[in-house]
Homo-oligomer: A and B are copies of this chain.
Amino acid sequence: MHVSDFIWTPGISVADFVSALGKVGFQSIELKKAAELIVKMKKDGAKIFLTFTSNMVTSGLRGFFAQVIKLGLADVIVTTVGAIEEDIMKAEGEQFIIGDFESDDVALYEQGANRIGNLFITNEMYARFEDKMTPLLTELYKKQKRWTPSEVFREIGSKLNDEHSFLYQAAKNNVPVFCPAITDGSFGFHLFMFQQKHDDFIVDVVQDFKNILFSTSQDEKKAVISLGGSISKHHAILACLLNGGADYALYMTTARHTSGSMSGASTKEAKSWGKVKDDSDAVTVIGDVTINFPLAMIDAMEQLSKEGIINAR
């Protein structure tokens, strides 16, 4: 295959653009490979693990994740607890603010705004979130004393009335949501406060490890789409490893492999572990996920939609 000059035609669609990128060079080629890989894993009937970090839910990818779940392109979600919190906040109507990377952070603090890159969340939004937590936990406690995180998230998701919520779509479409560090956020604080009064209230993370293991099997084809790094990435590929390894793996990250970190680990490294099967299709795309993930996924969706495999309605 040869490099081909990219030429703009007025009104060009994302699908045509991504197709052209496949012959441009460097990360654009990897991006087109990513789109092809998503098409392939879906057609092959693989169980798809989608992982993302909380900053992507801070961003507007959150509604896109909900759509991806709704369209049947994610079967298991693994994320961090910030993503849970912010999905709930947005479902309750909070509007996160678009700010600036170069803000005066001391001034922001005084104004009660908390910065995540170029986005802001205010203290009021957190306060309103917190007001929701006690009644919610009380309700859960009435049902049973011992909960796994994924059960908690399903319960919450089923109560949210927002089709752009990934928790809502996950609950509705029977897609489990795992979060291996449920206490690492505001959520953790409220669990602790509640447990202070109800000592027999248990969050059973060990049971949820069973749940993620049993969410797939040796026999099944497995795929991982990992956005960003962190434990969400590690947890999904660990679950696949213990079930024989992933057949398809797509990593999108800004981290680099040279520091030996999990966030920067490539699909190539994963093969040494059997995390990704040695004959699997594996693609790593380096760059900002807020741009690269929708580009690749849209191209895949357009193809799958045309072939009637997903129903875009």
What is A's interface to B at a CB cutoff of 8 Å? 1-8, 10-15, 17, 20-21, 23-31, 53-55, 58-64, 66-67, 80, 90, 95-98, 101-103, 105-106, 108-110, 113-120, 164, 180-185, 188-189, 191-192, 195-196, 201-210, 213, 228-231, 234-235, 238, 242, 254-265, 268-274, 278, 286-292, 294-295, 297-298, 301-302, 305, 312
Asked if A209 and B188 make an inter-chain contact with CB atoms under 8 angstroms apart, the answer reads yes
- Which of B181, B202, B270 is close to A202, meaning CB atoms less than 8 Å apart? B202
Asked if B25 and A260 make an inter-chain contact with CB atoms under 8 angstroms apart, the answer reads yes
Asked if A97 and B260 make an inter-chain contact with CB atoms under 8 angstroms apart, the answer reads no
Q: Which residue of B lies closest to A213 (CB)?
A: B192
The number of times this chain is found in the oligomer is: 4
A54 CB → nearest B CB, Å: 8
Give the residues in chain B near A278, CB-CB below 8 Å.
105-106, 109-110
Give the residues in chain B near A273, CB-CB below 8 Å.
109, 114-115
- Which of B20, B201, B208, B262 is close to A55, meaning CB atoms less than 8 Å apart? B262
A10 CB → nearest B CB, Å: 5
Asked if B117 and A258 make an inter-chain contact with CB atoms under 8 angstroms apart, the answer reads yes
Asked if B7 and A235 make an inter-chain contact with CB atoms under 8 angstroms apart, the answer reads no
Asked if A105 and B271 make an inter-chain contact with CB atoms under 8 angstroms apart, the answer reads yes
Give the residues in chain B near A54, CB-CB below 8 Å.
262
**Listed A/B pairs (25) with beta-carbon separation below 8 Å:** A2-B98, A3-B97, A3-B119, A5-B66, A10-B301, A21-B294, A29-B98, A54-B262, A55-B261, A105-B278, A115-B272, A117-B258, A117-B269, A182-B205, A183-B206, A183-B208, A192-B209, A202-B202, A203-B204, A205-B205, A231-B231, A254-B258, A254-B259, A256-B258, A259-B288
